[in-house]
């Protein structure tokens, strides 16, 4: 009796398809709401080599949908935790852990090792970065994304230059005001569960040639009424000029900036966010001797030049609020941290501490 018998006895699947899964190397980007179910089904199906890339840490608000993780995993890196779980279930599979975020300077060497990329990330900068790298390397990309009660699934790049990629349908990322912050949108865990499982399904079908895939198509699915809508994608002549045409050009692109995460809030909004103490932290990025000191709110001091080194102290918080004297250094700190923590709400407080006390003077 073989672990995969129930799938290879399927008419049209067979041992040859099972061997293709075993020989395949699949990289899953993001071990989050989409990545967790995708990883569970890809590993159960017997994909021989699976890479898991995620620089994020498990926080309590992830647990309604990131079903690999539980309370004992809070604060731990998602990629390494997922790797431990999957490796323990199926010790014969090769699971590679990459416990950092994809960046312009590491993505090409990481993706190069795999036959197929599954994008389960949760933000536009990563989605455009992964798309552009897949086009440059000629790697098929299984794409999935969600918004409230709806999901999208597609496969890009299966037929080289004639295939559609993400920029053919969306040439450039939306402007900041169009993008809801991930902490502002609710989600039932079953939606990424459904979409992530569909992504695993597309991956298995594409690798084995079983059934029909969503290659050059995008499927829209609505959780509320099960409505689904399939659109045939086409090449968009306008998209090429937005895409880096070489590894060097990709390295030069600033993905974190071009869809401009909105980075600033005022003190009133900050005070409201800080009421959820286990999820929010206030940081003074000034040097210790700078005046005035903040006395009426609880805060942690991490000077701007320390922010990169001490970033792990922030890993369990969903909202990181930064202030300085006037709001300039805190904005720089926010930009640095946004590159490190893609799914956190990282905000600089406008006007800094002078604004806070300004009303009193």
Residues that bind other proteins (CB under 8 A): 30, 32-35, 120-124, 127, 144-148, 150-152, 168-170, 172-175, 177-180, 182, 185, 187, 192, 218, 220, 229-234, 236-238
Q: Smallest Cα–Cα separation from 29: which of 103, 138, 88, 137?
A: 103
Q: CB neighbours (10 Å) of residue 136?
A: 18
State in angstroms the smallest separation of the CB of 26 from other proteins: 17
Contact 337, 307 (CB under 8 A): yes
Picking from 196, 217, 109, 94, the residue whose alpha carbon sits closest to that of residue 154 is 217
Output the smallest distance, CB 231 to other proteins, in A.
Answer: 4
For other proteins, the closer of residues 22 and 169 by Cβ is 169
Q: Which is nearer to other proteins, 43 or 62 (CB)?
A: 62
Percent helix, percent strand, percent coil in the chain, to nearest 5: 40, 20, 45
Closest to other proteins by CB, 128 or 356: 128
Q: At its nearest, how many Å lie between other proteins and the CB of residue 100?
A: 17
Rounded to an integer, what distance in angstroms lies between the CA atom of residue 34 and that of residue 264?
29
Residue 215 is given by DSSP the state B
Q: Looking at beta carbons only, is 152 or 338 nearer to other proteins?
A: 152
316 is written with which tokens?
């369990």
User: For the chain, how many helices (H) and strands (E)?
Assistant: 13, 13
Q: How far is the CB of 52 from other proteins (least distance, A)?
A: 14
Burial 57-72 (b: 16+ CB within 10 A, else e): bbbeebeebbbbbeee
Question: Which two three-digit tokens encode residue 135?
Answer: 């086009």
Tokens 């080289």, residue located: 160
Give min distance, CB of 30 to other proteins, in A.
6
Return the number of the residue (18 or 158) whose C-beta is nearest other proteins: 158
- The residue among 231 and 294 lying less far from other proteins, judged by its C-beta, is 231
Question: From the CB of 271, what's the least distance to other proteins, in Å?
Answer: 27
**Shortest separation between residue 252's beta carbon and other proteins, angstroms:** 23
By beta-carbon proximity to other proteins, the closer residue of 16 and 227 is: 227
């Amino acid at each position: 009796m073989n672990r995969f018998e129930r799938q290879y006895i399927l008419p049209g699947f067979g041992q040859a398809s099972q061997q293709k899964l075993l020989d395949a190397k699949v990289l899953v980007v993001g071990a989050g709401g989409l990545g967790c179910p995708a990883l569970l089904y890809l590993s159960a199906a017997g994909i021989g080599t699976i890479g898991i890339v995620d620089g994020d840490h498990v926080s309590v608000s992830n647990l309604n949908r990131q079903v690999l993780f539980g309370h004992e995993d809070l604060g731990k890196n998602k990629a390494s935790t997922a790797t431990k779980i999957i490796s323990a279930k199926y010790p014969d599979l090769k699971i590679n852990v990459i416990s950092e975020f994809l960046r312009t300077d590491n993505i090409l060497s990481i993706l190069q090792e795999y036959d197929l990329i599954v994008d389960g990330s949760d933000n536009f900068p990563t989605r455009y970065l992964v798309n552009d790298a897949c086009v440059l390397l000629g790697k098929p990309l299984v794409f999935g994304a969600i918004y409230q009660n709806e999901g999208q699934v597609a496969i890009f790049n299966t037929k080289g230059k004639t295939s559609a990629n993400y920029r053919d349908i969306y040439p450039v990322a939306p402007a900041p005001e169009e993008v809801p912050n991930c902490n502002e949108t609710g989600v039932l865990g079953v939606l990424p569960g459904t979409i992530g499982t569909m992504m695993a399904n597309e991956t298995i079908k594409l690798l084995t040639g079983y059934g029909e895939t969503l290659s050059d198509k995008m499927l829209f699915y609505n959780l509320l009424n099960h409505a689904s809508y399939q659109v045939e994608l086409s090449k968009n002549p306008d998209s090429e000029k937005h895409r880096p045409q070489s590894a060097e050009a990709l390295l030069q692109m600033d993905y974190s900036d071009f869809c401009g995460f909105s980075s600033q809030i005022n003190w009133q909004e900050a005070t409201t966010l800080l009421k959820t103490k286990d999820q929010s932290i206030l940081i003074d990025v000034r040097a210790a001797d700078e005046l005035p000191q903040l006395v009426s709110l609880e805060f942690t001091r991490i000077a701007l030049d320390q922010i990169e080194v001490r970033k792990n102290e922030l890993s369990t918080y969903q909202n990181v609020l930064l202030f300085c004297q006037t709001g300039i250094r805190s904005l720089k700190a926010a930009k640095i941290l946004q590159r490190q923590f893609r799914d956190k709400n990282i905000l600089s407080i406008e006007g800094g501490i002078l604004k806070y006390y300004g009303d009193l003077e």
